[in-house]
């Protein structure tokens, strides 16, 4: 698959899961063996654990927004840097809403293989 197609896939899964909350559609991009070592056990494991985290994060920070700052593609991988902002308006991981805003940055590496979504 081309680097441009993988970048489009990354944009699609990000938009659908974070902005449009189409979690099941986003799941089409995840391997069943997906692993995130730092994910709290409260969310579960695998792709379902990731989606549970995204649902909980969106519930706690309903105005969550990610701005993609950099994207680098190479064959089947897409590396992207983003800045996330939001306001803690709902419960998240047992912590009640504080009304406080946050800004944080992150780097993500996505690999796409045999995507049919």
Identify the residue with better confidence: 77 or 9. 77
Would you tell me how many other CB atoms lie within 10 Å of the CB of residue 5?
Answer: 13
Mean pLDDT of the chain: 80
User: Can you tell me the distance from the alpha carbon of 45 to that of 15, in angstroms, rounded to the nearest whole number?
Assistant: 22
- The answer to whether the beta carbons of residues 27 and 46 sit under 8 Å apart is no
Q: Kindly indicate the confidence band of residue 13, based on its pLDDT and cuts at 50, 70 and 90.
A: low
Tell me, what's the pLDDT at 79?
Answer: 85
Tell me, what's the pLDDT at 66?
Answer: 83
112 phi and psi, to 5 degrees?
-115, 135
Instruction: Please calculate the CA angle 68-72-74 and round it to the nearest 5 degrees.
Output: 145
> Quick one: CATH architecture of 3-111?
Roll (3.10)
Tell me, what's the pLDDT at 83?
Answer: 92
- The answer to whether the beta carbons of residues 42 and 36 sit under 8 Å apart is no
Q: Kindly indicate the confidence band of residue 102, based on its pLDDT and cuts at 50, 70 and 90.
A: very high
């Amino acid at each position: 698959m081309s680097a441009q197609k993988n970048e489009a896939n990354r944009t699609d899964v990000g938009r659908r899961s974070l902005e449009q909350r189409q979690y099941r559609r986003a799941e089409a991009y995840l391997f069943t063996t997906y692993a995130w070592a730092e994910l709290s056990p409260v969310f579960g494991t695998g792709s379902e654990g990731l989606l549970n985290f995204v649902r909980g994060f969106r519930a706690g920070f309903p105005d969550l927004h990610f701005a993609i700052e950099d994207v680098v593609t190479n064959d089947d991988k897409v590396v992207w840097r983003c800045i996330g902002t939001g306001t803690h308006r709902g419960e998240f991981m047992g912590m009640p809403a504080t009304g406080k805003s946050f800004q944080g940055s992150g780097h993500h590496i996505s690999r796409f293989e045999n995507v049919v979504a």
